[in-house]
Amino acid sequence: MKLGTQEIWTASIVLVTALFFLSGCTGGRVAYINYLVPTGGASSPGAQVIQSKDCGSCHTIPGIRGANGSVGPPLTLFARRTFIAGEIPNTPANLALWVRTPQTVEPKTAMPNLGLSEQQARDVAAYLYTLR
């Protein structure tokens, strides 16, 4: 059986289309493109700050040893959130402001002022944005 040009083109289009759609399959897992959110900080020092300030006593924080607190909200998938503290848009500047001086955003918040420097706040923000 000899295939004609039309049949070859049709088979090629079907194959390319199938490969295109199958390339997006992730076995039920959501695939995300890794990219850096420009915070002016670095995630590794941010993780160290989070550990040293014992943020995990109040929050569940993936990747931080012993961070399984339930007083504050879990920070799982933090990078996907739209708002911080239900008050301000989740942007790098707002997040750094929140972790540095939470009472300036929400005066009656239970979140304590941890005495972070501007750089520490940016580093913490960089770490939280890795939580996708």
pTM beyond 0.85, yes or no:
no
83 part of a folded domain:
yes
Tens-digit pLDDT profile for residues 16-49: 676 666 555 555 444 444 445 688 888 999 999 9
Q: How far apart are CA 98 and CA 128, in angstroms?
A: 12
Using alpha carbons, select from 114, 117, 91, 89 the residue that is nearest to residue 103: 114
Tens-digit pLDDT profile for residues 48-102: 999 999 999 999 999 999 999 999 999 999 999 999 999 899 999 999 999 999 9
Residue 14: which pLDDT band, with cuts at 50, 70 and 90? Answer: confident
92 part of a folded domain:
yes
27 part of a folded domain:
no
Q: Check which CATH number belongs to the domain holding 122 and give it.
A: 2.60.40.420
- Please provide the average confidence, as pLDDT, over all residues in the chain: 85
84 part of a folded domain:
yes
**Tokens encoding 78:** 């933090």
Enclosing domain of residue 102: 43-128
Which residues, in sequence order, are bridge partners of residue 83? Answer: 89
16 part of a folded domain:
no
Could you give the number of structural domains in the chain? 1
